[in-house]
Amino acid sequence: MNWPLVPQQLITGILNGGVIGLIALGIVLIYKSSEVFNFAHGHMVMWGAFLTWWFAGAAETGSELLNLPLWAAVMGALAVSVLLGLLIERMALRPMTGQPLLSIILMTLGLAQLLEGLASIAFGVEPKSNFPAPFSPGDVLVIPFPGAFGDAIRLKYTLVVAFGVALLGALLLIWFFNRTRTGLAMRATSENHEVAQSVGINVSRVFALSWALAGMVATLGGVLMAILTGVSLNLATVVLVAFPAILLGGLESLGGAVLGGVLVGLSQALVQAARPIEVRNSAEIAPYILLLIVLIIRPEGLFGQKRIERV
Amino acid sequence: MAIIRPAGDFDRTYPQDMALLRQPWHYGLLALALVAAYTMPLWGNAYLVSTAHRIAYTVIAVQGLNLLTGYTGQISLGQAAFMMVGGYISALLVKHAGLSFFLALPLAAVGTGIVGLLFGLPSLRVKGFYLAMATLAAQFIIPWLSRHIFTDYLGGSSGAIEVPVPQIGGFRITEVNHFLYISLTVLLITTVAVYNISRTRLGRALVSIRDNDLAAELLGVNLFTYKLRAFFIAAMLAGVAGALKAHSQRGVGTEFGYSLTDSIFFLGMLVIGGLGTNLGPFLGVAFVLLLEDLADLVGAGLAAQLPPEFAASLLTSFRPIFFGLMLMLFLIYEPRGLAHRWQILKAAWRLRPFSK
């Protein structure tokens, strides 16, 4: 290990992980209400980022008319992504109710391909570097830390703010699921559709609502990712690390998803502090190695429930 | 799969019951199809031959996936990565160990099977979505390894190595025409193998695991070994397909695809063709690959009409759109795939004029 780099990477990893955790929450959200593993979530994240970029006035798409400030662009993207979420639920997932797991997973995979193709038609295939950034790259928070590289930890404002927003979003969601009627209705629906219906929960409305909500969470995550890394079609693959995150945390647990995200972020950042170049380059697969280890040692994740199955 | 037969068509002897081809005209049809396929280089054009070759090796990979996902019910998102392993093993054996391609091919199959076993190990404890994640990990880890370890042998960051063409004696198989003979022959062997696996003890055990794993265990099916066998055979067939692909493209590595998208396409082909049927891989692969070519044609045609800045995105976007839409439509309207449609068609033909 390259010890002087460790403190810096530790903090960066946690901050990055918060954003991954928020994206993972979108997947857990869908799972908790409808037991669907949404492999298209990465593409919804990408769409959120692209929509924001488009609303913010991108020269290439010829939408200088809109040229909105970032917050307004995010609002616009959120509105569109709610519609997108509702549309996906109505057109793709509603007909799949009661189908086996494999079919539903394949449906979301097909959806992911469709969203990818549509995004490349709508926004073009080139990566966009002109995402509206709230801070310039030079805005750095310097925390003195003796022993670290350069005796200080440097944090980009962007990263700190992204983490803050992600954490706020995560807390809001956790509160929503534990304290509001609608959130509790979603959890009940996830347990058993028929029982939920018999106590007066409108199950189809719960599904629609959870997809709309997932669309919003995805867009928020997409904006945060875009601020950190820029927008490209590749974003959908990058945020697939949210899947290891939810497995680490356990599928049922919202807090676990956030913690899983942080662990994923840490694993990606800490390998970069290692000395051998092979290990340093392994940031993109570190979460998946972690995933394999967890699957073998503790398949239900850190906070998941162990389910007993009957024949 | 319940076989619907016309009234009065019974099996009277065990050989009749076990026959793959029951009617004399089945043999005739098979012979005709084989002759048509093998003489394709003589009468077909270059596009037809190369497409037939592409279909042949893709069918082999999808047959493997069918055993694992269709029969055993274990979702795998890593079939493309296993194909790459097969390609690499075969290429390195021919290139550095000086083996003949025809010896390297089975070795690549076994080697890939062992790699498949490694990633099948979590299947003992997890299933469904969790297993999909384990294979997803394979799909990310294997291509990464190919780019970062043993860079002298595996091509390093360029993501590709050259692969020598196979030789028989002094004859170098360089043309796709000749490659078609190899891939067709291999396809024939794997088809017979898969067909027989699916209707014997192994295949029935796999189906019982898919339908209810706890019940299967109570009936004496050892879940762990049978699941691992399914993983081994699936990876083996992927390895064979990968070796065929690598040698005909004369290169292997991340440059040549083998991505997560490919793995998803294999799954999609399987569903479109028909999960858990032996006809499914053939129908699905042919359908999707031909559809892709159509998508390219449509995309190119549209791109020619539009300003160049849109052309590039149109060309790349039609493939996923066509595929995604088709997969979703099949899942909603015909989840049992084209193979089921074919059965319905056959039954309707027999029951004519009383089919509904």
ipTM of the complex: 0.86
CATH architecture designation of domain B40-351: Orthogonal Bundle (1.10)
Closest chain B C-alpha to A31 CA, distance in angstroms:
11
Check residue B113 and give its pLDDT: 94
* pLDDT, tens only, A172-203: 988 988 888 888 888 888 888 888 889 988 88
Q: What is the dihedral of CA B333, B336, B339, B341, to 10 degrees?
A: -40
SS (H, E, C) chain A: CCHHHHHHHHHHHHHHHHHHHHHHHHHHHHHHHHCCCCCCHHHHHHHHHHHHHHHCCCCCCCCCCCCCCHHHHHHHHHHHHHHHHHHHHHHHHHHHCCCCHHHHHHHHHHHHHHHHHHHHHHHCCCCECCCCCCCCCCCEEEEECCCCHHHEEEEEHHHHHHHHHHHHHHHHHHHHHHHCHHHHHHHHHHHCHHHHHHCCCCHHHHHHHHHHHHHHHHHHHHHHHHHHHCECCCHHHHHHHHHHHHHHHCCCCHHHHHHHHHHHHHHHHHHHHCCCHHHHHHHHCHHHHHHHHHHHHCCCCCCCCCCCCCC
The answer to whether the beta carbons of residues B209 and B223 sit under 8 Å apart is yes
Closest chain A C-alpha to B293 CA, distance in angstroms:
16
A303 burial via Cβ count (<10 Å: 0-12, 13-18, 19+)? middle
Chain B residue at shortest CA distance from A238:
B140
Instruction: With CB atoms and an 8 Å threshold, state whether A113 touches B133.
Output: no
Chain A residue at shortest CA distance from B216:
A311
Instruction: With CB atoms and an 8 Å threshold, state whether A106 touches B267.
Output: yes
Say yes or no to pLDDT of A167 above 60: yes
Say yes or no to pLDDT of A309 above 60: no
Domain-by-domain residue ranges, chain B?
A: 40-351
Cβ contacts of A295 on chain B, cutoff 8 Å:
122, 125-126, 130, 133-134
Check residue B1 and give its pLDDT: 42
Which of left, alpha, beta for B220 (phi over 0: left; psi -120 to 50: alpha)? Answer: left
* CB contact set of B21 (below 8 Å; sequence gap of 6+): B27, B30
Phi, psi of B238 (to 5 degrees): -60, -40
- The stretch A124-136 carries a mean pLDDT of 73
In 3-state terms, what secondary structure has residue B167? strand
Q: What is the dihedral of CA A172, A178, A182, A187, to 10 degrees?
A: 120
For residues B107 and A221, what is the distance between their CA atoms, to the nearest angstrom? Answer: 46
Instruction: With CB atoms and an 8 Å threshold, state whether A125 touches B313.
Output: yes
Instruction: With CB atoms and an 8 Å threshold, state whether A284 touches B314.
Output: no
- Chain A residues 9-38 within an 8 A CB cutoff of chain B: 37
Query: Which among B122, B144, B321 has the least Cβ separation from residue A295?
Result: B122
Q: Which of B302, B321, B322, B340 is most worth mutating to test chain A (most A CB atoms within 10 A of its CB)?
A: B321
The answer to whether the beta carbons of residues B72 and B136 sit under 8 Å apart is no
* pLDDT, tens only, B132-180: 888 888 898 888 888 887 877 777 777 777 777 777 766 777 777 788 8
- Chain A residues 78-97 within an 8 A CB cutoff of chain B: 92, 95-96
Closest chain A C-alpha to B321 CA, distance in angstroms:
5
Instruction: With CB atoms and an 8 Å threshold, state whether B319 touches A125.
Output: no
- The stretch A5-14 carries a mean pLDDT of 82
Domain-by-domain residue ranges, chain A?
A: 23-236
Instruction: With CB atoms and an 8 Å threshold, state whether A292 touches B316.
Output: no
Q: Specify the DSSP class assigned to residue B99.
A: -
Q: What percent of chain A has pLDDT over 90?
A: 10
Of B79, B67, B119, B136, nearest to B265 by C-alpha is B79
Q: Which amino acid type is present at position B27? A: Y
Comparing A65 with B91, the larger pLDDT belongs to: B91
Instruction: With CB atoms and an 8 Å threshold, state whether B137 touches A311.
Output: no
Digits of tens for pLDDT over chain B (356 positions)? Answer: 445 666 777 788 888 888 888 778 888 999 998 888 888 888 878 888 888 989 999 999 999 999 999 898 888 888 999 999 999 999 888 888 878 888 888 999 999 999 999 888 887 777 777 888 888 888 988 888 888 878 777 777 777 777 777 777 667 777 777 888 888 999 999 999 999 998 889 999 999 998 888 888 899 888 889 999 999 999 999 999 999 998 888 878 777 888 888 999 999 999 999 888 888 899 999 999 998 888 888 877 877 777 766 676 777 788 888 889 999 999 998 888 898 888 888 888 877 777 66
Phi, psi of A276 (to 5 degrees): -65, 140
The answer to whether the beta carbons of residues A245 and A261 sit under 8 Å apart is yes
Cβ contacts of B121 on chain A, cutoff 8 Å:
296
- Chain A residues 155-214 within an 8 A CB cutoff of chain B: none
Q: Which of B275, B288, B331 is most worth mutating to test chain A (most A CB atoms within 10 A of its CB)?
A: B331
Instruction: With CB atoms and an 8 Å threshold, state whether B212 touches A311.
Output: yes
Closest chain A C-alpha to B35 CA, distance in angstroms:
37
